[in-house]
């Protein structure tokens, strides 16, 4: 636990989800593997394709619709549909198969257990502060069993720009009727969470958990503090 600059009083706490509250790396790795297996079942031609095939279609989708960079769900669907169409399926068939594959992916993507100690932390904090979820991803807080701890949740896509853009930090502040300086944001990503929250005028704590599988980029701006794991936030009860 390291403090870099004065932490002022705050009125609410916002949380990133993946790799902040739980280790998402093994979850997403398994979900990706299950997706590739499922794609081969619904479109056997996928069996001989490598990652480069899908990355090429991803890049084309982003070139044609750059706004998709802010919506991981829409981007994945567009990428899969384009790839399946390229294999010779009709637009309708490709759209249906892409949706089927995405639903299957989500079932594995949301198949994770938030540790009981983290749930206890969220419970304790929620009794003192309103909590908000702010995520660039598409995990379901209902499916993973933590929705009851949050008064609001905001996800990139559907008009919301991804962090580090200020959209969701501003929405959270407005929903809570507080100034952005009164929002303490907790996250693992040095760019999306730390740089993003600070640029939006919020305070922030970096969760730098070495036990998690994701590799973190070096800090470019200093957060208010750096914690080794999210459970250290219990000091704010």
Mean pLDDT value across residues 38-56 = 91
Q: Residue 106 pLDDT > 90, yes or no?
A: yes
Phi and psi at 199, nearest 5°, equal -65, -30
- How many residues are given for the chain? 237
Please report, for the chain, the start and end positions of each structural domain, with discontinuous segments joined by +. 2-23+114-236, 27-109
What is the residue-averaged pLDDT of the chain?
95
Mean pLDDT value across residues 204-230 = 92
pLDDT in tens, 141-182: 999 999 999 999 999 998 899 999 999 999 999 999 999 999
May I ask the CATH architecture of the domain 27-109? Up-down Bundle (1.20)
* Local structure of 131: helix, strand or coil: strand
pLDDT at residue number 53: 93
pLDDT in tens, 19-34: 999 999 999 999 999 9
pLDDT at residue number 27: 96
* CATH number, domain 2-23+114-236: 3.40.50.1000
Furthest C-alpha separation in the chain: 59
Tokens encoding 164: 């580090």
Phi and psi at 120, nearest 5°, equal -65, -40
Q: Residue 136 pLDDT > 90, yes or no?
A: yes
- The pLDDT confidence band at residue 50, using thresholds 50, 70 and 90, is confident
Give the side-chain half-sphere CA count within 13 A for 81.
14
Give the side-chain half-sphere CA count within 13 A for 77.
15
* CB neighbours of residue 228 within 10 Å: 13
Q: Determine the straight-line distance between the first and last CA of the chain, rounded to whole angstroms.
A: 16
pLDDT in tens, 114-128: 999 999 999 999 999
pLDDT at residue number 217: 85
pLDDT at residue number 159: 87
Strand extents, DSSP E, the chain: 2-3, 12-15, 131-135, 152-155, 183-187, 203-207, 225-227
pLDDT in tens, 51-93: 889 999 999 999 999 999 999 999 999 999 999 999 999 999 9
Q: What is the pTM of this model?
A: 0.93
**DSSP string for residues in 126-148:** HTTS-EEEEESS---TTTTT-GG
């Amino acid at each position: 636990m390291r403090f870099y600059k004065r932490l002022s009083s705050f009125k609410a706490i916002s949380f990133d989800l993946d790799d902040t509250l739980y280790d998402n790396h093994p979850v997403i790795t398994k979900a990706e593997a299950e997706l590739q297996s499922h794609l081969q079942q619904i479109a056997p031609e996928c069996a001989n394709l490598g990652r480069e095939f899908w990355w090429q279609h991803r890049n084309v989708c982003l070139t044609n619709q750059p706004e998709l960079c802010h919506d991981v769900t829409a981007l994945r669907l567009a990428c899969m549909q384009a790839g399946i169409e390229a294999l010779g399926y009709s637009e309708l068939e490709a759209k249906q198969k892409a949706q089927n594959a995405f639903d299957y992916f989500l079932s594995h993507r949301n198949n994770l257990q938030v540790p009981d100690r983290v749930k206890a932390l969220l419970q304790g904090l929620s009794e003192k502060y309103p909590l908000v979820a702010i995520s660039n991803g598409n995990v379901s807080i209902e499916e993973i069993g933590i929705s009851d701890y949050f008064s609001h949740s905001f996800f990139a896509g559907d008009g919301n720009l991804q962090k580090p853009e200020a959209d969701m930090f501003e929405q959270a502040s407005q929903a809570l009727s507080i100034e952005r300086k009164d929002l303490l944001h907790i996250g693992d990503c040095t760019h999306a969470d730390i740089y993003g929250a600070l640029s939006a005028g919020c305070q922030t704590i970096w969760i730098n958990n070495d036990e998690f599988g994701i590799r973190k980029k070096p800090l470019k701006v200093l957060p208010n503090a750096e914690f080794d794991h999210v459970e250290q936030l219990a000091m704010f009860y």
